[in-house]
Amino acid sequence: MRSLIGLITFVVVLSLLVGGCGNKLPGPVTLQLGPRITGITVPVDLNAGATFTFGVTTSGPPVVTYSWEFDGGAAPNTSTAVSPTVTLINPSTTDSATYTVTVMVTDADNRSDTETAEYTVGRTLNQSPSFVGAIGFAAAVNVGTVTFTIADPDDDDVAVTLELTAGTDLDLDVTAIDAGAGNYGPFEATLTNMTPDDIDFTLLITLDDDVNDPVTGELVDTVPGLSLIADAIYMFAPASVNVGDTFKVVVYASAPVNTVGYIDSIEIVYPAGFAPVTTSWNLGAVGGDTWAKDGNFWAASTDTLFEVATNLFFLGDTVAVNMSPMGASPAGVAAGTTGPLFSFDFTANAAGVQTLSFVHGGTHYLLTDGATTAYFDGGEFGLDVTVN
């Protein structure tokens, strides 16, 4: 009897439960999930200064926004890109450093997931120096100025050398260069053309921080020649030099009206700030051996340089003329020709504007009837050189 009563009670209770649910059992519950991060791509074996693109892989609904944050070791340190590209940063030049990156991905229903990963950046490597912008060149008549600026992220001392690989007959003067600890220019060099002709040149500039391979820059251009008037003598020298520099002076004759036989004794008056290099005297074309008589000399000095007074020296008793094209001895040099008479060097020992003076007693011309006439003009002219 007790069993029957229990059975009846169970049926009634079950009946009430079923009736309370509308005679139906509850259906399955559906829970929708947002996107899930399955992996983050981080750099491996890269040093500071390298660039790297971070990446993230996800599952689930499509991601519509990304938010990246770096706790260091990257620039920029935030991004909303799908795969941000950054420059790796590590202040240490000796040790690696470990940083973290956090990325949050969000879908269209504003459901998100966030993960953090570690990455390691190797030490900062020493970087090569470089030129900033282009090497510039501004040309005036017979003088060209080269300017350039460099950069070195490591503040290294950078050795800067300039070499003329073409146009080596130009005079190259370089303003003192102290490249280091942030003093990287602009630097300046001056090219002086001491001829009447335009001269094409190639200037090679080399930067060497003594750590990396040297870096080179090249400038190709032309320095215009001087415009000379006829029947004149010119003395050329660089407009500007540095204390301690040795520079060349060239004396030119330009298109004489008559055939030139020879020029009388020549005096050079020089300031106390200059010292003549007496072993540098060269008769004729620039670049010959000391006292070498280039071409067809038929009248020449006694190969002697006389110091006749303080800061005054005297070159021989007569000075040969050597102008290309040469006339045949003893015909002298044909009228209308132009070329160098002689050249010599000075060393600059004191700063300031220094003046050289050139004096010649007269020019002896050969006349068509074979006679010789002397034109004594007592010519004297000065040439200013600025010594830095």
Asked whether the beta carbons of 37 and 68 are under 8 A apart, the reply is no
The confidence score (pLDDT) of residue 380 equals: 60
Together in a domain, 134 and 117: no
Q: What is the mean pLDDT of each run of 10 residues along the chain (388 residues)?
A: 40 41 56 89 93 97 97 95 96 92 97 96 91 93 92 91 91 84 89 88 95 94 89 82 87 81 76 84 72 57 61 62 51 76 87 85 68 54 82
| CA distances to 176, 210, 216 from 159, in Å | 12, 8, 12
Name the residue among 337, 307, 305 with its Cα closest to residue 321.
Answer: 337
Q: Residue 173's Cα: distance from chain center in Å? A: 15
Report if residue 14 sits inside a domain: no
- As a whole number of angstroms, the distance between CA 295 and CA 308 comes to 30
The confidence score (pLDDT) of residue 73 equals: 92
Angle at 346 between CA 343 and CA 350, to 5 degrees: 155
Q: Does residue 287 sit in helix, strand or coil?
A: coil
Together in a domain, 239 and 378: yes
The confidence score (pLDDT) of residue 224 equals: 93
Together in a domain, 154 and 85: no
The confidence score (pLDDT) of residue 369 equals: 62
Residue 6's H or E segment, with its range, is helix 2-20
Q: Helices marked H in 150-231 — which ranges?
A: none
Question: For residue 205, how many other CB atoms are within 10 A of its CB?
Answer: 21
Asked whether the beta carbons of 364 and 332 are under 8 A apart, the reply is no
- Kindly state the DSSP code that residue 61 receives in the 8-state scheme: S
Asked whether the beta carbons of 297 and 284 are under 8 A apart, the reply is yes
Q: What total of structural domains would you count in the chain?
A: 3
Range of the domain at 198: 130-223
Residue 5's H or E segment, with its range, is helix 2-20
Together in a domain, 70 and 193: no
Together in a domain, 361 and 278: yes
Q: Does residue 251 sit in helix, strand or coil?
A: strand
Report if residue 107 sits inside a domain: yes
Q: What are the tokens at 319?
A: 């000075």
The confidence score (pLDDT) of residue 35 equals: 96
Residue 195's H or E segment, with its range, is none
Q: What are phi and psi of 376, to 5 degrees?
A: -100, 110
The confidence score (pLDDT) of residue 322 equals: 54
| CA distances to 152, 192, 195, 246 from 199, in Å | 33, 10, 9, 22
- What is the pairing mode between strands 240-241 and 379-387? parallel
Among 71, 103, 124, the domain boundary falls at 124
Together in a domain, 247 and 315: yes
Together in a domain, 46 and 117: yes
Together in a domain, 163 and 276: no
